Amino acid sequence: MEIVFASNNLNKIREINNVLGNSFKLLSLKDICMEEDIPENEATLEGNALLKARFIHNATGMNVFADDTGLETEALNGDPGVHSARFAGENKDSEANIDKLLALLEKKTSRKARFRTVIALILDGKEHLFEGIVEGEIITERRGKMGFGYDPVFLPEGRKLTFAEMDLDEKNKISHRARAFAGLKAFLSEYASEKKSTPYYNK
């Protein structure tokens, strides 16, 4: 089954291919020659994911899914949340985002945080949502060179390694994105199985 992932983020595509395996042919925006800027101006993760998926589906007619992820901190009332990628400015500078986050949390009592991913799927014209959450905390300094975004300062609950200290296989056992995509994979697998078992009659 071919399905478009509304992204050209190579880190995300690598993670998702690792989760989905060989059951599906994953196409990036580059693969379908889609170079237009996709809007991301909704107030929620759900809204942004749906907006991106609808944009690509309306432009191409293809089956598509899009995701949006946010880091939500208790002490900052859920921020940076939907603004995670642009927390320190429109240039999406991960290092600047981390610097700003650590500065804001410096004198806060709670460092509890969670990563949340929402996936919007449009399949045969119908919309579906999937969610993945991992609880944890923000540590006081960066650790690790792997991963991306806020991974160097996010310590998952019950773990001794940050996401940036974990290899991809280990991260994908517990990450928010992996959990959301596991739900997507299970749904697509069931859908594909039902399609195969449904007889087709020529009229």
Tell me the catalytic residues: 68
- What's the full length of the chain, in residues? 203
Among residues 197, 203, 61, 49, the alpha carbon closest in space to that of 125 is found at 61
C-alpha distances out from residue 101 to 37, 68, 111, 143, 154, Å:
27, 19, 11, 15, 11
Q: Give the DSSP H or E segment for 181.
A: helix 176-197
Distance CA 112, CA 134 (A): 11
Please, where are the H alpha helices in 70-137?
Answer: 94-105
What's the helix, strand, coil split of the chain in %, to 5? 40, 25, 40
